Amino acid sequence: MFDNTFTPEQQMLHQMVKDFTAKEVAPFDMAIDQKGDFTDGLFQKLIDNGFLGLTLPEEYGGAAFDPIATATTINDLAYGNASVGVTLEGHYKTLDQLMKYGNENIQKEYLDSANHRIFAFSNTEPSGGSNPTGISSTAVKEGNKWIINGDKVMITNGGLAEVYIILVKSGENEFSCFLIDKDMPGFSFGKREDFIGLRGTPVGEVVMNNIEVSEDHLIGKRGQGLEIADQAHDDARILMGAVLTGIMEHALKIASDYAKQRKALDTPLTDLQVIQEKIANIAISKELTKLVYQQAAIRKQNGQPYMEEAAMAKTFGSRSAVKAGDDALQVLAGYGYSREYPIEHLIRDARALEIAEGTVEKMRTAIAKAEFEK
């Protein structure tokens, strides 16, 4: 654990987010899953409490927090409800790319509103998400404008987000990223996915029909799109590790609290070795996932490569969190299998992260490639 190395500012934020989660997120966890939406004005409360601007530079009204504080915030919110963590993850990873690759004009125009307008990154198309060179969306240069057409699906915050960075083909075997706004002519929202988990986070489609943008909307250089998409994935995977740690903390708390009050005849569940083993396994997986995502965040903060650690956090964390949910369910047994307890939705939520931000199969390929290159 790197928690004991937090600066006073990181520690203060950590406490503030834990308090916010306890009051504004955790009590609504079940309702968020059942309604498929953030309840009781939670989204507005996230804005009012400065969560959207957490990573933004101060000149744009943000709090300029670092990658460790950002990941810890996602972890703390996801302990209350994973969808809340994932919605902010989608926003932060997109802002990271605008801050890193956007030119001065587009940064000025869009970073100013990023503490109250949500952002999203769109890569996947109906033809598939794992192999981005197979996309069909296009940007064609006409004079000093770009004309964008295409269809993006399964976008985290799709329908909720107001600003999108999209990956398109800008030439034969050339890929570029552009920033588009929901208020542009030719932009429309399509289908929202009926996913089995992370029900509070909208994941949906964006349709682009002859959207016209200026050169300023090109994010990074022409032809740099795949690099930016990879970078967005790396940034997201750190935060996915944080979401998964939050899910495992939640499963551990429920299973542990239950074991402490339940008896098997006269024997407390806490005295049964089979129960102890499950609790210990959840605790080990939670702690290991946390160590890896924190290590990736520290490397990011120090300007060191972090692709591999971020991929490990998501790959190890996602299967571990599904297993942690399953172990917790077994501790509660019949009650664990009931929709009246949150465990079944923790499993559904965790399962999404074996797919989103790159499947675990692709993660393992990337990790192995990095190892072979050593």
Judged by CB under 6 A, does residue 170 bind ligand FAD? no
- From 10, 124, 137, 245, residue interacting with ligand FAD (rule: CB under 6 A): 124
- From 82, 84, 88, 203, residue interacting with ligand FAD (rule: CB under 6 A): 203
Interface size with ligand FAD, residues (CB under 6 A)? 24
Could you give the angle at the alpha carbon of 159 between the alpha carbons of 117 and 147, nearest 5°? 85
Rounded to whole angstroms, the Cα distance separating 5 from 352 reads 31
Determine which one of 309, 344, 357, 361 is catalytic. 357
Beta carbon nearer to ligand FAD, 128 or 268: 128
The helices-and-strands tally (H runs, E runs) of the chain is 11, 10
Q: Which of 61, 83, 69, 64 is nearest to 15 (CA)?
A: 69
Tell me the closest approach of the beta carbon of residue 193 to ligand FAD, in angstroms: 8
Rounded to whole angstroms, the Cα distance separating 290 from 276 reads 21
Judged by CB under 6 A, does residue 72 bind ligand FAD? no
What amino acid is encoded at 137 in this protein? S
Rounded to whole angstroms, the Cα distance separating 52 from 92 reads 8
Residue 357 is a catalytic residue:
yes
Tell me the closest approach of the beta carbon of residue 60 to ligand FAD, in angstroms: 23
Residue 173: partners with Cβ closer than 8 Å, 6 or more residues away: 133
Judged by CB under 6 A, does residue 311 bind ligand FAD? no
Q: Token pair of 202, please?
A: 């909208």
Q: What DSSP character marks residue 125?
A: B
Q: Which of 66, 12, 362, 53 is nearest to 238 (CA)?
A: 66
Beta carbon nearer to ligand FAD, 20 or 316: 316
Q: Which of 171, 180, 163, 185 is nearest to 218 (CA)?
A: 180
- From 53, 67, 150, 358, residue interacting with ligand FAD (rule: CB under 6 A): 358
Judged by CB under 6 A, does residue 366 bind ligand FAD? no
Rounded to whole angstroms, the Cα distance separating 167 from 120 reads 12
- From 41, 128, 223, 305, residue interacting with ligand FAD (rule: CB under 6 A): 128
Beta carbon nearer to ligand FAD, 150 or 336: 150
Judged by CB under 6 A, does residue 196 bind ligand FAD? no
- From 71, 154, 328, 346, residue interacting with ligand FAD (rule: CB under 6 A): 154
Rounded to whole angstroms, the Cα distance separating 224 from 33 reads 38
Judged by CB under 6 A, does residue 130 bind ligand FAD? yes
Residues tagged active-site: 357
Residues that bind ligand FAD (CB under 6 A): 90, 120-124, 128-131, 154-156, 195, 198, 203, 352, 355-356, 358-359, 361-362, 365
